Structure 1
Amino acid sequence: MTHRQVLEALSGLLLVLFVAMISATIVSVALPQIIGALDGTQSQYTWVVTASLLASTASTPIWGKLADLFSKKLLLQVAIVIFIVSSVACGFAQDTGQLIAFRALQGLGMGALQVLVQVIIAAMISPRERGRYNGYLGGVMAVATVGGPLIGGVIADTSWLGWRWCFFISVPFTLIAFALLQKTLRVATVRRPDVKIDYVGATLIALGVSVLLIWVTFVGNSFDWMSWQTAAMVGGGVLVLALATWVETRVAEPVVPLHVIRRRTPALAILASLAVGMAMFGGSVFLGQYFQIGRGYSPTEAGLLTIPMMLGVLLSSTISGRMISKSGNVKPYIVTGGIVLTIGFLGLSTLDHETSLVFVSAAMMLVGVGVGMSMQNLVLAIQNTVPLNELGAASGAITFFRSLGGTIGVSVLGAILANQVATSIVEGLAKAGIKAEAAGGSGSLNIAQMPEPLRTIVRAAYGDATGHIFLVSTGIAALGVIATLFLKPTRLRDSVDLKPAPTTGETAVSASQETTRA
């Protein structure tokens, strides 16, 4: 493809990525108001996020594998249709149960859009040149992450729109992207008659992870850590995941290609992505809640307060992408990004309900810089090590584990936050001389309906508890840094596909030529 053709197709792909990302960022800052309007709880707040991440996680490897076997363009169009239908359904949800179910369906489309865009770009552009185009990707991601919270906050604060338009607003953008891709996208179609999709493996992985996340949500509240429920759920989840691993070693087309992730660079990149996903998704999801519930700001103000983090993503992803294309070296930027991310979370771990907003902004900026330098470049590192016919599987694998990390991070950190908040509220009520029975609504996120003494106690509890989850995120991000340190330093290749290994004769000729030059 010529540079002009690439840019034409890329415009539609970037719009698709923009729609997928903005749908998540719009909801993130409006979610406290959404759950409050539907009279939901902290656990339901967490599962509105977890449901979409889990569905995205389970389906991402399948979409990646299908991209190696069928028309990438057709798959992308199918994903767009799923996303449109689910977005409309989320907008019409009448309670938190319906919203969680529709968000799971939306996760199927979001996961497909994210991995298919990466696969299609990888099929069009060589890894060396892709660093420059990754700057465009980073820019779109930054605009979506900066604009999303602002748009979501304004929508949630506008009485004649309401929070339901946080879901409806993505529909026209998606329709435009569909039409644009139909006209500009031209990607070679691979057809294989012996296709075997590992639906069993994907189902087992999703089931095993779901059981463990449900256990994390309810342990310590509905039942004790040392109980038969814990033994049954943890043992059952681990057993199902072990069975899934066994299935992956037996099927012809595994949903998680073990032969790919056993290699050094993919394995370490996946481990780092798992840690980055846990830290980034798990931490950032609760920032909007911190600003609104813990500090008392409106959704629009909360969106404005998240700008430093998104600005960090924009600057670091754009600058590092161009520098990587120029040098051909990706490891130094990944390692640096992981270190900066860890420092940023360490700063956020000191938060309480009275922390200076200047300090909070600086720490968020560091988190954004770390994410921008590491997340997309980890995908580039793994794509550089696989041939063209494995791009879909490799991209799907790293996106799978990053989403899995985010899913686990949101659930675990959400459970930690809920338990910490519950303890703090009980202590606050005792100090204020209020009986717990008289504060029956303290488990709700509908802060506006609470009487003033209780409202102040709940706000302080959320503000003070948020620092604890960022401390956990710091430890997780540090594990990602350790993984990136062991990445093998390699230069990005200039070709779209790996060059075939030279034969013995070709090797001898090459060596002779090198000797002659010397």
Structure 2
Amino acid sequence: MSTAHEARDGAIAPQATPTMTHQQVMLVYFGLLFAMLMATLDSSIVATAVPTIVGDLGGLDRIGWVGAAYILATSAVMPLAGKLGDLLGRKPVFLASTIVFLAGSAACGAAQSMTQLIVFRVVQGIGGGGVMAAMFALTGDLFSPRERAKYQGYSAGVFALSAIGGPLAGGFFSDHLTWRWVFYVNLPIGAIAFALVAVFLKGRTHVERPRIDYLGMLLLSGGLVALVLAANWAGTKYAWGSPVVIGLFTGAVALLVAWVLVERRAAEPVIPLHLFRDSTFDICNLVSLVAGLTGFGLVFFLPLYLQISSGASATNSGLLLLPMMFGLMIASFGVGGAVAKSGRYKWFPVASMAVSGIAAYLLSTMDADTGRVTSGFYMFLLGVGAGLSQQVVVVAVQNAAPPRDMGAATSTVTFSRMLGTSFGVSVFATILNHRLGHEIPRYLSAKDASRLPSGGSIGPGWLKHQPQSLRDGLAQAYAHALSPVFLTAAVILAVGFAASLFLKDVVLEQRGWGGADTETPAEAAG
């Protein structure tokens, strides 16, 4: 890999590029996998424990902020951390972010009130955003372009493992130990990640002090926070046309426009604007946005079908999502090996959009009588579709971006997926609520409809105490209301499919370390 950075005012200059043995590279990579597990496990494990947390600390009116505070902080920090990694070196950014994350985890576990917990979740999110940004970029530094797809595939497998194991672990801790362990469990995992990277990653030193774009960082983080808040609240907490949502979207646009104007003159812009002149960067961000919006956005609605229309318990509905996670892991590992062997990646995002679109259409055909095997197969296809592109777009962006901008480019495409997930939940929730207003009168009698709780808090525990006519009516109403949700996702995926066809057919180089027991530069890791 090239080690030279472009020399200009404020640019960093490497003093030396140390080498690493194959064993050192793999030990660092295992440390990154532990970091990935720690950062991704947090959201899924905490969600299961929230009811227990509220029972202990109170603050039911602020329950949504337990998750939102973490997501907002992570979203705002990720692009900034990617750029700081380019400027200061990814090793110090990774280690500092890990310390912040672990400090936030320990504080969350010791929180004595809901207010304290929310504040400490922000601290956790700041660390989590930095960890994820540095981790993906470091994987790009450690391996040659072809090998990156294979190792990014392993990272996707860890993500799927955390999605499966998180809810189970959260329930276990809440039932048999204490909810505080959903945060304390991060401490040993993070300590392993920190130690492996600190000891074995050999980084470069820089002889010039970088010029940090503080104004750009402030404007970008403010715009992203407003945008993510609007995406999370629109159609769920507030109506799309409410003053709050309109104000957030307006504020986000104003801040992001100001950010663009500032970045045009900045010596070291947070996200270099020249990246947007590369079609690979633009298309991969669009594909990532669509994949997050449809693949991970739909995950929030599949349990509704399984619990209300299919009659599964809350625990079983989580287990019934396993086919999707298995599909994601199988596709991620398979794609990683194929790209490493051939060096070509173009057709995997295309296939991802096509398979996901077919899966979304098939999901839209489900009704209350659809069998578990059939719905499981549809979810498996959805997982395969997600796995076909999840790591490929990261590899493509890293290959297209100049080495000095790899951190900023990587964190941008990762953020696009997170933003897509937020918008997906809001858009699909709006469609679902609108359709339920039409379907419930069709399938429920006036007497059964009068039994529905205010606020729509319908779950398996409430349903099992209701008359059979109400349960059957709700099963049909939800199945038919969810159908346009999945159909909308299929239409969005068709747009992603069309865009992915314009990806350049690039052959990845096999330079640097390619799997042999040789030495490799840890480029930009300093």
Shorter-chain TM-score above 0.5? yes
Aligned residue number for residue 11 of structure 1: 30
Shift of 1:30: 6.2
Shift of 1:175: 2.2
How does the TM-score come out when normalised to structure 1?
0.81
Aligned residue number for residue 283 of structure 1: 298
Question: RMSD of aligned C-alpha atoms?
Answer: 3.6
Shift of 1:270: 1.1
88-97 vs 72-81, greater mean Cα deviation: 88-97
Shift of 1:63: 0.5
Shift of 1:426: 7.2
Shift of 1:272: 1.1
Aligned residue number for residue 254 of structure 1: 269
Deviations 1:350-372 (A, max 9, x none): 34454321121111111111111
139-148 vs 418-427, greater mean Cα deviation: 418-427
Distance 2:478 2:208 in 1: 54
Shift of 1:482: 1.7
Amino acid across the alignment from 1:182: A
Aligned residue number for residue 109 of structure 1: 127
Aligned residue number for residue 502 of structure 2: 486
Q: Confirm whether residue 273 of structure 1 aligns to residue 288 of structure 2.
A: yes
How does the TM-score come out when normalised to structure 2?
0.80
Shift of 1:487: 0.5
Where structure 1 has 5 or more consecutive residues not aligned to the other structure, the ranges are 498-518
Shift of 1:386: 2.1
Aligned residue number for residue 514 of structure 1: none
Shift of 1:425: 5.9
User: Does structure 2 conserve the Cα–Cα contact (< 8 Å) formed by 1:280 and 1:371?
Assistant: yes
Distance 1:422 1:98 in 2: 38
Aligned residue number for residue 200 of structure 1: 218
Distance 1:135 1:219 in 2: 35
Amino acid across the alignment from 2:253: V
| 2:189 pairs with one of 173, 184, 189 | 173
| 1:186 pairs with one of 202, 206, 209 | 202
Aligned residue number for residue 452 of structure 1: 465
Change (3 A) 1:303 1:448: closer
Aligned residue number for residue 4 of structure 2: none
Deviations 1:150-209 (A, max 9, x none): 4345556xx323655444433322222222322222232446413213322323322441
Q: Confirm whether residue 58 of structure 1 aligns to residue 73 of structure 2.
A: no
Distance 1:252 1:465 in 2: 51
The alignment of Structure 1 onto Structure 2 pairs a total of residues equal to: 488
User: Does structure 1 conserve the Cα–Cα contact (< 8 Å) formed by 2:280 and 2:400?
Assistant: yes
Amino acid across the alignment from 2:78: T
User: Does structure 2 conserve the Cα–Cα contact (< 8 Å) formed by 1:212 and 1:233?
Assistant: yes
Where structure 2 has 5 or more consecutive residues not aligned to the other structure, the ranges are 1-19, 514-526
| 1:303 pairs with one of 315, 318, 335 | 318
User: Does structure 1 conserve the Cα–Cα contact (< 8 Å) formed by 2:88 and 2:210?
Assistant: no
| 1:410 pairs with one of 425, 433, 452 | 425
Shift of 1:265: 1.0
User: Does structure 2 conserve the Cα–Cα contact (< 8 Å) formed by 1:35 and 1:445?
Assistant: no
Distance 2:144 2:39 in 1: 24
User: Does structure 1 conserve the Cα–Cα contact (< 8 Å) formed by 2:220 and 2:256?
Assistant: no
117-126 vs 99-108, greater mean Cα deviation: 99-108
Distance 2:222 2:133 in 1: 21
Change (3 A) 1:423 1:169: farther
Distance 2:63 2:436 in 1: 15
Change (3 A) 1:283 1:395: same
Give the SS at the match of 2:504: coil
Aligned residue number for residue 143 of structure 2: 125
Shift of 1:51: 4.3
Shift of 1:264: 1.2
Q: Confirm whether residue 81 of structure 1 aligns to residue 94 of structure 2.
A: no
Change (3 A) 1:351 1:205: farther
User: Does structure 1 conserve the Cα–Cα contact (< 8 Å) formed by 2:223 and 2:251?
Assistant: no
User: Does structure 1 conserve the Cα–Cα contact (< 8 Å) formed by 2:149 and 2:391?
Assistant: no
Shift of 1:8: 1.3
Give the SS at the match of 1:384: helix
Shift of 1:488: 0.7
76-85 vs 263-272, greater mean Cα deviation: 76-85
Distance 2:476 2:110 in 1: 33
Deviations 1:228-268 (A, max 9, x none): 66665544443333333323323332222211122111111
Aligned residue number for residue 20 of structure 1: 39
10-19 vs 98-107, greater mean Cα deviation: 98-107
Distance 1:393 1:236 in 2: 23
